Structure 1
């Protein structure tokens, strides 16, 4: 695996996604988590879930939600990462986070999450960021813990039987709430 150059905040531009971005963002999200392309990065879920990670309707719903936005990070006009930000009172929800697999592991994710936290603090006055992570994703949870997130132990069931979220390869999946004070 080639190591991508260290990300520079100045090399990235951030903007809100539009409906025209939906096909490209579905592909970006899918490539970061599922299938063989996801194995180029370290965030792959290919061993625990098969099938789709999201679809056009799911991405469009986030793009058009009145309480949030889908933030796109671009380098040279190409989307290289995205994340969902949803306003939930004093908290913001962080989800649908994807970094292009070939760029993972070089610090780009740190830049994206820091920008997301800055945006929700400044735009919404959020004092906490919430996210849910599949509880068996220990390496990913550890990455978030190094960014200041803490495990809460609050679990919600994985939607078994709903193939919009993938086809589970294990019977012990659940989402755990992680929280960071901003």
Structure 2
């Protein structure tokens, strides 16, 4: 598991060049796993223009969440898009810096994006509860796993 101390924030237009470089490098990375990027030729030819990134960042129905190492704030190591889609939400364009791939960092980014998505819809963090790791003794689970509890007050419609 990647032990980077992640900090998250919403991307701004100033982040566009770094996001472009991060996404292109992540999608072009060599990986021996079968079907990881689908087609090697397609992955090696993947292009994302700076104008496409800027248009995405200006879209009011989409946010880009970026992550950086708390010790190196100027360097983006992951990004993910969160958008409205067909009455629901969509997570897309997850990119993790090549030097941090295969260590669980992508899972951490997705978890944070989901929590942020719920909080923008009126949910509030109410606490945490311990994950029952003892029930999964055969698995190599990280220490300190927990559930993050969220709650939303519903309007009285009566």
Instruction: Give the counterpart of 2:91 among 79, 91, 94.
Output: 94
Matched, 1:117 2:109: no
Gaps of 5+ in 1: 127-182
TM-score (norm 2): 0.65
Gaps of 5+ in 2: 124-158
- Report the counterpart of residue 108 of structure 1 in structure 2: 105
Shift in Å at residue 51 of structure 1? 2.2
SS at structure 2 position matched to 1:7: coil
8 Å contact kept, 1:32–1:44: no
Q: RMSD across aligned C-alpha pairs, in angstroms?
A: 2.4
**Could you tell me how far apart the structure 1 residues matched to 2:122 and 2:23 are?**
28
SS at structure 2 position matched to 1:59: helix
**Could you tell me how far apart the structure 1 residues matched to 2:113 and 2:46 are?**
25
- Report the counterpart of residue 13 of structure 2 in structure 1: 19
| Cα distance per residue 1:69-125 (max 9 Å; x no partner) | 111001121100001111247511111110001111111011000001111111136
Runs of 4+ more than 4 Å apart:
40-46
Shift in Å at residue 52 of structure 1? 3.0
Instruction: Give the counterpart of 1:47 among 40, 44, 48.
Output: 40
**Could you tell me how far apart the structure 1 residues matched to 2:91 and 2:53 are?**
14
Question: How many positions carry a matched residue from both structures?
Answer: 117
Between the two structures, name the one with larger relative contact order (CA 8 Å, sep ≥ 6): 1
8 Å contact kept, 1:41–1:101: no
SS at structure 2 position matched to 1:66: coil
8 Å contact kept, 2:2–2:100: no
8 Å contact kept, 2:20–2:48: yes
Q: For the structure 1 residues 40 and 89, does the alpha-carbon distance in structure 2 shift closer, same or farther, using more than 3 Å as the test?
A: closer
Shift in Å at residue 22 of structure 1? 0.7
- Report the counterpart of residue 174 of structure 1 in structure 2: none
| Cα distance per residue 1:24-45 (max 9 Å; x no partner) | 11010000012xxx11696556
8 Å contact kept, 2:25–2:97: yes
Q: For the structure 1 residues 107 and 56, does the alpha-carbon distance in structure 2 shift closer, same or farther, using more than 3 Å as the test?
A: same
Q: For the structure 1 residues 26 and 105, does the alpha-carbon distance in structure 2 shift closer, same or farther, using more than 3 Å as the test?
A: same
> Greater strand percent: which structure?
1
